[in-house]
Structure 1
Amino acid sequence: MSNVQSNTTQGNVAPHFKRVLTLKDLVIYGIAFMTPIAPAYIYGFAAQSTGGMLPLAYLVAMVAMMFSAYSYGRMAAAFPIGGSTYTYTQRAINAHLGFFAGWAMFMDYVLVPLIVFMVGASYANALIPTIPYWVWVLLIASIITFVNILGIGIAAKANQVLVIFMGIVVVIFVIFCMKAVVGEDGGSSLISITPFFNGDTFAMTAIISGAAMACFSFLGFDSITTLSEEAVNPKEDIWKAAILSCLIGGIIFIVQAYVAQLVWPDVNSFSSADTALFDIANAAGGALLATLYTVAIIASTFTAGITGQASASRLMFSMGRDEVLSKKFFTHLHPKYKTPVYNILLLCSISIVGAIFLPINVVAELMNFGGLAGFMLVNLSVIVYYYFRKKEKKFIRYFLIPALGFLICLYLFINLSPITLKVGFIWLAIGFVYALFKTKGFKKYPPSFKEM
């Protein structure tokens, strides 16, 4: 199949992106999407549900995500084009199943900028109450959308600055937590097995449920693959960036959860589970550290918002190019900046409305449904494409690793809350009805599939 950039017909050049992203840019992009400060979003409730063993839940989630990151990397090497989960499932397994993969991940990617608008506006409103919540939503949405319209190069530079800032805040937080623990009991108190295993509260079902919740913090490493057409060296850099961002992000999350547990062992005594890490920051470093952490949370909404909106717009571009969505609308690129401007504006509008009217807990839970569904399909794609279709009988590389990734994600998936599963399957049912009419009873295939 010819690359989209070389697909020309009589001087009519197909829409294409600029290749500007290096390996470093891609790794930062993945970490920016996940955000180094992601534990702040779920810490209180997740720590309570795991009986004070959130570091263990994060470790389980990281292992699960590493298997999936490997599979994303293998599929990105085989198909270095945009579309990520949608593209890989379509090319490796079935065109129609590819649509459902994209439909599931679309829910995930759309909800990312939506939830960060909500979180950012909430904390900004708490910091400056005189400015209403809805004004903060509009302000954050405008900045994120403007940056994405200017181009992925500008977005990458903005992410780099913000990720460095959040990284510094995380380091400061960890240092203050360690200082607080050492001040109480001496240096030996920094080493404890309790955050990973507490015999009094350990329950495997609670850890697995916590790991499913912890997957929320990892959602984003997969978005790197949506930028394959903007990467300088996609075949080499995409898979490396997916694995590195997942590993680095996981270590950052585990360290934060570990020191936080040492500072505040009683996970049932937070003033509010929603702001648990702020209680811990205040206990470890006073009001100054708590305020700094709040500012970092607001900064994280910009990195996650920029990357989430960019990824969703590229997914829509790929689906539009395959004519499973409106080609004229979804493949339109800005004549100067070469960005899918209509998609970006549409996502901005959806996120603003959702941020104003939807509850944050529902949005957070639904993100895991789309993410885990997509991860399972990508793991399955590696097995089908490499092991069976190409007959590369490398059992560990092309069967065992992706199979373990699939099974782990499936186990986490079935442990999602009942309401999350119900709403998620309703979303898939809507997609089924849409696809049924769009493909005339699943008889029509996208043009790109016919060319394979």
Structure 2
Amino acid sequence: MSFARSLLRVKPAEQLSSEGSHSELNRTLGLVPLVALSVGATLGTGIFVVLAEAAPAAGPAVVVSFVLAGLAALCSALSYAELAGSVPVSGSAYSYTYATLGEIIAWICGWCLLLEYGVSVAAVAVGWGGYLNEFLQGTIGVTIPDALAAPPGEGGVVNVPAAIVVLLATAVLLLGVRESAWATTVTTVLKIAVLVFFVAVAFTAFNSGNLTPFAPAGVAGISVGASAVFFSFIGFDAASTAGEEARNPKRDLPRAIILSLVIVTAIYVLVAFAAVGAVGAGALGESDASLATALRMVTGQGWPAVVLALGAVIAIASVVLTVLYGQTRILVSMSRDGLVPPVLARVNRRAVPARNTLLVGVLVAVLAAVVPLNQLAEATSIGTLVAFGLVNIGVVVLRRTRPELPRSFRTPLMPFVPLLGLALCAYLITGLDAVTWLTFAIWTLLGLAVYFGYGRRKSRLNAPAE
């Protein structure tokens, strides 16, 4: 096989599905846990954390920013749903790309997913520390010193709370997938209840004057806001990382992906509208714990903010748990394909990839402790947008190359929907800062060095030729 052909060799969908069906992971998850997994991985990241970054840029039109980002995510979600029903394995976009676009593209996609999942966990953990401070201050009058609650560059030395929540989530994952799914479902229900509480209180102080001027920075501001809040949609694909732990993956994975995105988008738009209408877009940018601050301004009392902060502390911890889970399962797939060391696919007696989980947990905890939130969020967005774009291309390619492949869900209006998803991903990428592009370029070059130094030689697709 020539060098060029070896880079573009695909792994047949049947082979991927066969390996997934013989996985050592336990099939214990039904539709409800899968929806909770995706909603749990998504809901909270943007509303509790990134709204403070996006609202000042877009103004009241941040609501439109959420809709635009949700549309981009929906097009990609429909592509994900078709591929999840066709190739029901744990690798998510990495495995789908391997079956459609070839090994080198799959590697780049998997490498982007490692950036997306790992860095988004760290970013959420940083935001968790802000709400923990809000809760502690409102209950016992204690605030964690900046030196121990913020990374370098933001007035601190090390973000201890962020590292702690990552390590706690790692410990829960080591208990097993059934226990992790139970914890995710409970915290997701709590998270939705807390946001409903926020909307109910915020609408009591709704002032239409806070919605004007609606788009002070015009289309450019909406675009910048959409690029920032797209970070908050990361995680709807989490169910696709559980392809080998779902009881009926062909039926339930597509349903879970689409249902979770619809639920999350509706809540985001409602909460953003209520928040801006109650206190104005500018006020939301004054604190990382923006929703808790908004409640204090609306009510003039501390207890509603404490209730929201407690809910956020628990709820954002569930995002850390579920996204960390997704990253470990993607590494399992990459390891099984030989592209990363085989130790990362080994499971213990609880059917948990323990060494993989410990390694990821420790690395992400360190990242969360020392890197500022805004840099983490944008680095996550670019990795996600690239992965989503590849999935949109992959679903079109698989339709043309394997039209006979059984599909439990078919993306409507093919190829318009995936091509629109690809175009929207490209549009949102243009709104990211130059430093984000530089970070991504360095990450990609590092990934290619790892692939050519290790992955290409160790790939299991080399086995028949050896």
Please report the TM-score for the alignment, with normalisation by the length of structure 2: 0.86
In structure 2, the partner of 1:313 is: 328
Q: Which amino acid aligns with 2:447?
A: G
2: CA distance between counterparts of 1:270 and 1:245? Answer: 26
| Residue 84 of structure 1 pairs with residue 110 of structure 2 | no
| Residue 143 of structure 1 pairs with residue 156 of structure 2 | no
Q: Match for 2:421 among 405, 408, 415?
A: 405
Is contact 1:330–1:342 with CA below 8 Å preserved after alignment? yes
In structure 1, the partner of 2:441 is: 425
Is contact 2:108–2:447 with CA below 8 Å preserved after alignment? yes
In structure 2, the partner of 1:282 is: 296
Q: 1:449 to 1:264 in 2, by over 3 A?
A: farther
In structure 1, the partner of 2:348 is: 334
| Residue 363 of structure 1 pairs with residue 376 of structure 2 | yes
1:120 CA displacement:
2.1
Where 1:92 maps in the other structure, the secondary structure is coil
Where 2:243 maps in the other structure, the secondary structure is helix
| Residue 201 of structure 1 pairs with residue 226 of structure 2 | no
Is contact 1:74–1:239 with CA below 8 Å preserved after alignment? yes
Q: 1:444 to 1:269 in 2, by over 3 A?
A: closer
Q: Match for 1:107 among 96, 102, 115?
A: 115
In structure 2, the partner of 1:220 is: 235
| Residue 350 of structure 1 pairs with residue 366 of structure 2 | no
Where 1:113 maps in the other structure, the secondary structure is helix
Is contact 1:95–1:446 with CA below 8 Å preserved after alignment? no
| Residue 236 of structure 1 pairs with residue 261 of structure 2 | no
1:389 CA displacement:
4.2
Q: Which amino acid aligns with 1:446?
A: R
1:178 CA displacement:
1.3
In structure 2, the partner of 1:129 is: 143
| Residue 73 of structure 1 pairs with residue 81 of structure 2 | yes
In structure 1, the partner of 2:195 is: 170
Deviates more, 1:128-137 or 1:311-320: 128-137
- For residues 82-128 of structure 1, the C-alpha deviation after alignment (integer angstroms, 9 at most, x for no partner) is 10111000111111110110001111111122223322234324524
Q: 1:142 to 1:51 in 2, by over 3 A?
A: closer
2: CA distance between counterparts of 1:406 and 1:355? Answer: 30
| Residue 415 of structure 1 pairs with residue 431 of structure 2 | yes
1:282 CA displacement:
1.0
In structure 1, the partner of 2:6 is: none
2: CA distance between counterparts of 1:66 and 1:72? Answer: 9
Q: Which amino acid aligns with 1:330?
A: L
1:216 CA displacement:
0.8
In structure 1, the partner of 2:182 is: 157
Where 1:361 maps in the other structure, the secondary structure is helix
Is contact 2:111–2:444 with CA below 8 Å preserved after alignment? yes
Query: Segments of 4+ in structure 1 off by > 6 A?
Result: 448-451
Q: 1:287 to 1:271 in 2, by over 3 A?
A: farther
In structure 2, the partner of 1:12 is: none
In structure 1, the partner of 2:339 is: 324
1:27 CA displacement:
0.8
Q: 1:201 to 1:75 in 2, by over 3 A?
A: same
Is contact 1:120–1:297 with CA below 8 Å preserved after alignment? yes
Q: 1:121 to 1:48 in 2, by over 3 A?
A: closer
Q: 1:448 to 1:51 in 2, by over 3 A?
A: farther
Where 2:33 maps in the other structure, the secondary structure is helix
1:396 CA displacement:
5.3
Deviates more, 1:135-144 or 1:34-43: 135-144
| Aligned-pair Cα RMSD in Å | 2.5
2: CA distance between counterparts of 1:234 and 1:334? Answer: 23
Q: 1:178 to 1:349 in 2, by over 3 A?
A: same
| Residue 180 of structure 1 pairs with residue 215 of structure 2 | no
1:381 CA displacement:
0.3
1:351 CA displacement:
1.7
2: CA distance between counterparts of 1:42 and 1:360? Answer: 9
- For residues 258-297 of structure 1, the C-alpha deviation after alignment (integer angstroms, 9 at most, x for no partner) is 01111123x3355725343233111223311111121122
In structure 1, the partner of 2:18 is: 3
1:391 CA displacement:
7.7
1:143 CA displacement:
2.3
Q: 1:264 to 1:151 in 2, by over 3 A?
A: same
2: CA distance between counterparts of 1:39 and 1:51? Answer: 15
Please report the TM-score for the alignment, with normalisation by the length of structure 1: 0.88
Where 2:238 maps in the other structure, the secondary structure is helix
Q: Match for 1:294 among 294, 306, 309?
A: 309
Deviates more, 1:129-138 or 1:294-303: 129-138
- For residues 232-268 of structure 1, the C-alpha deviation after alignment (integer angstroms, 9 at most, x for no partner) is 1111111111111111100000000001111123x33
| Residue 93 of structure 1 pairs with residue 101 of structure 2 | yes
Count residues with an aligned counterpart: 428
Is contact 1:369–1:413 with CA below 8 Å preserved after alignment? yes
Q: 1:6 to 1:391 in 2, by over 3 A?
A: closer
Is contact 1:36–1:163 with CA below 8 Å preserved after alignment? no
1:390 CA displacement:
2.6
1: CA distance between counterparts of 2:50 and 2:21? Answer: 45
2: CA distance between counterparts of 1:271 and 1:108? Answer: 24
Q: Which amino acid aligns with 1:379?
A: N
Is contact 1:81–1:229 with CA below 8 Å preserved after alignment? yes
Where 1:268 maps in the other structure, the secondary structure is helix
Where 1:3 maps in the other structure, the secondary structure is helix
In structure 2, the partner of 1:385 is: 398
1: CA distance between counterparts of 2:214 and 2:165? Answer: 44
1: CA distance between counterparts of 2:307 and 2:436? Answer: 33
2: CA distance between counterparts of 1:87 and 1:270? Answer: 39
1:142 CA displacement:
3.4
1:59 CA displacement:
0.7
| Residue 446 of structure 1 pairs with residue 443 of structure 2 | no
Q: 1:162 to 1:173 in 2, by over 3 A?
A: same
Is contact 2:113–2:387 with CA below 8 Å preserved after alignment? yes
1:214 CA displacement:
1.2
Is contact 1:32–1:163 with CA below 8 Å preserved after alignment? yes
